[in-house]
Amino acid sequence: MKTLTQSGLVLRQVPLPRLLALGGAMIAMSLTDGIGLVLLVPMLELLSQGTSESMISEMMTRGASWLGLPLNLGLLVGLFVALVGVRSGLQILRDRLAFSVNALAVDNLRLSCLRGLMGARWHWLVNRKRSDHAALVTLEISRIGGGIQALVSLVATSFGLAAYMIAAFAISPAMSGLTLATGMVIYLSLYRVRRRAVLLGSDLLNANKSMMATVERSLWGLKLAKILGTEERHLKDLHDTMASVRETQLTFNASNALTRAFWQFLGAVLLGLYVMAGVYWLKVDLPVLIALVFAFSRMLPGLMALQQSVNQWLHTVPLIDNVQQFLDESRIAADRPIGSAEPIRIINRSVRLDHVTLAYDSRPEPSIHDVSLVIPARATTAIMGPSGAGKSTLADILVGLLGPDSGTLSVDDLVIGPQEQRNWMRSVAYIPQDVTLYHDTVRRNLLWGAPGASDADIDAALSRAAAEFVHDLPNGLDTMVGDGGALLSGGERQRLAIARALLRKVPMLVLDEATSALDVENEARIHDALAGLHGELTIVMIGHRLPMLELADQIIEMKAGQIVSQSPGPRTRIRSDR
Ligand code: ADP
């Protein structure tokens, strides 16, 4: 029953007409198989005795004479050849449809998972493992593709077997009944083999997850591995997790091979028994017996393939369970849609936090506790405090990434509740400690947030962000920035991120420790950029060093998730001194 639900999740990814067309092609192919088998009986009778006597032959003679044709060998061979031609055409159609159903199901499942990730609340995402997500959208979905292939061939083989079985029943009900009964008993007795396939599938899922985590740790930690000299340890970890994946896969393949060998041997024994039973017990005619032996010898590989496909499909079931669970959870964790709201372009008075508290799921004590704060519009606010004081968490709340557990974030008179959160998120620019740049050109990186911006807009934004260095790059705006912006310095990446924010024409800029890791020259350039934007944008600087503080209109100090002091900054003082 559960496997039916899993098939449902996969099949829902494909448009119904395409599924019906595939089912239709499969049924039509099976019909040609069945009819071909039935045609064998009169053909063999005509060849062996010169006449056709069986019930099937009688019916066919009547049918032929109704069409005004004699039932001779020529007509039967002609019909047979025509059937083979039709079957070949149907096979091409079925294979094409099967491929497109498989590809569509895999693509749509992958898209659904990515959509689930993209649409989920940050609060939910930060508590999950990134390597699990990578395994989900790459390895697991690809393996589900293999399972879907097995499901399609399972259905196709079942149709084929059913057609042969119906034809065999038409030829000799007694012998076919005997075959069906023994076949059913054997299939049911293989229950444990199928159960094992599911268990091995679940083992493989876990082994693959840990392999992905090891690969990711090695890739992300390349630099650290070199510094610490732990390259060999990474390789050993990967070697061990791969061995575990390989072992599970080998056990599954061995179990499959054993089942195949079992079926082959059992098939030969059964076929021998059927022939003996047909000749000595049921006393069937030779042409009927030959046709049936032909049918059963075709059905045996079919039965084997069926068992293999069932195993393969069951092996995939834990993966589909995992996808289903992820989709359900991400649906519950989904952000509210943005809707038709326009981004907020102007902050008139202030951005406020009122009695905001937030705790992460994985730790009971709140990381931000009852914080109230007013960030005046077009002023620069610096938030200071030791590491772990809650500054980054506060920044995430200010930009709408995290919704507070209690208390409110408001912009002028608008309370940013769950409905408004996503719209607010796209109305502000957040420059984190590690700026994300894509492995692309400077221009395309800048245009991500503002696809319609012209070169003149870009030049203006670069100049305001003190990022004119772009013009000195080998290919100017068309220079590739490397993976994650690796070909640029930290300061250059941050200035590009500021330019990207300016292109989006956001009213507020939040910089999280943006200059903490910079050299003096780069820090001075960012200082210039922020000085130029002072009084124009609402700026929040988190954890900045002294030179930056001279830009601040107010300085907030945090400790253990709370605000411990709030004072006017040098800018305010300079202004009031004048
Ligand atoms: P700061 O930016 O001042 O260094 P953070 O806002 O990063 O401080 O962290 C505040 C507290 O919240 C710390 O105790 C930190 O360990 C905890 N914290 C931060 N992020 C998470 C998270 N994703 N899950 C659980 N705890 C977290």
Determine whether the shortest distance from the Cβ of 571 to ligand 1 is under 6 A.
no
Determine whether the shortest distance from the Cβ of 362 to ligand 1 is under 6 A.
yes
- Rounded to the nearest angstrom, the distance between the alpha carbon of 390 and the centre of ligand 1 is 6
Determine whether the shortest distance from the Cβ of 366 to ligand 1 is under 6 A.
no
Helices vs. strands in the chain: H and E counts, helices first:
20, 10
Looking at the CA of residue 389, tell me the nearest atom of ligand 1: 3
Q: Give pLDDT, residue 20.
A: 92
Determine whether the shortest distance from the Cβ of 383 to ligand 1 is under 6 A.
no
Encoded amino acid at 372, one letter: S
CA-based R_g, the chain, Å: 35
- 226 is written with which tokens? 């070199």
Q: Give pLDDT, residue 514.
A: 56
Cα 538 to Cα 393: distance, rounded to the nearest angstrom: 19
Spatial CA neighbour of 553 closest among 382, 332, 370? 382
**What CATH number has the domain spanning 350-577?**
3.40.50.300
* 505 SS3 class: coil
The residues near 238 (Cβ < 8 Å, ≥ 6 apart) are 211, 214, 215, 218
Determine whether the shortest distance from the Cβ of 359 to ligand 1 is under 6 A.
no
- Rounded to the nearest angstrom, the distance between the alpha carbon of 566 and the centre of ligand 1 is 21
**368-376/538-542 β-pairing:** unpaired
- Are the beta carbons of 144 and 106 closer than 8 angstroms? yes
* 357 SS3 class: strand
Determine whether the shortest distance from the Cβ of 165 to ligand 1 is under 6 A.
no
Q: Give pLDDT, residue 527.
A: 82
Looking at the CA of residue 368, tell me the nearest atom of ligand 1: 10
The residues near 184 (Cβ < 8 Å, ≥ 6 apart) are none
- 353 is written with which tokens? 């936090």
**Exposed, middle or buried by CB within 10 Å (0-12, 13-18, 19+), for 347?**
buried
- 39 is written with which tokens? 């045609």
Element spanning 557, H or E: strand 554-559
Q: Give pLDDT, residue 540.
A: 94
Element spanning 189, H or E: helix 173-189
Encoded amino acid at 377, one letter: A
Backbone phi and psi for residue 315, each to the nearest 5 degrees, phi listed first: -65, -30
pTM of the model: 0.71
In CATH, what is the architecture of 2-16+99-332? Up-down Bundle (1.20)
CA max distance for the chain: 122
Do 2-16+99-332 and 350-577 fold alike per CATH? Answer: no
Alpha-carbon dihedral angle through residues 438, 444, 446, 452, given to the nearest 10 degrees? -140
Residues forming a β-bridge with 373:
353
- Rounded to the nearest angstrom, the distance between the alpha carbon of 343 and the centre of ligand 1 is 29
- Rounded to the nearest angstrom, the distance between the alpha carbon of 366 and the centre of ligand 1 is 10
Residues forming a β-bridge with 428:
508
Cα 323 to Cα 457: distance, rounded to the nearest angstrom: 43
Other Cβ atoms within 10 Å of 420 Cβ, number: 21
**Residue-by-residue pLDDT tens, the chain, 578 positions:** 556 666 788 888 888 999 899 999 999 998 898 888 888 878 887 777 655 566 777 777 787 778 877 777 788 888 889 999 999 999 999 999 999 999 999 999 999 999 999 888 888 888 788 888 888 888 889 888 888 888 888 888 898 888 888 888 888 888 788 878 887 887 787 777 777 877 887 888 788 888 888 888 888 777 777 777 788 888 898 899 889 889 988 988 888 788 778 877 888 888 888 888 888 887 777 888 888 888 888 887 888 788 788 888 888 888 888 899 999 999 988 877 766 678 888 899 999 999 999 998 878 889 999 999 999 999 999 999 888 899 989 999 999 988 899 999 999 989 998 888 888 988 898 888 778 788 889 999 998 878 888 889 999 999 888 888 888 889 888 998 887 777 888 888 888 988 998 888 899 999 887 555 566 777 788 888 888 888 889 999 987 666 677 788 999 999 999 999 888 877 764 444 43
- 395 is written with which tokens? 């920044």
Domain layout of the chain by residue ranges: 2-16+99-332, 350-577
Spatial CA neighbour of 566 closest among 354, 376, 386, 382? 382
* 100 SS3 class: helix
Residues forming a β-bridge with 197:
none
Cα 578 to Cα 575: distance, rounded to the nearest angstrom: 5
Cα 228 to Cα 234: distance, rounded to the nearest angstrom: 11
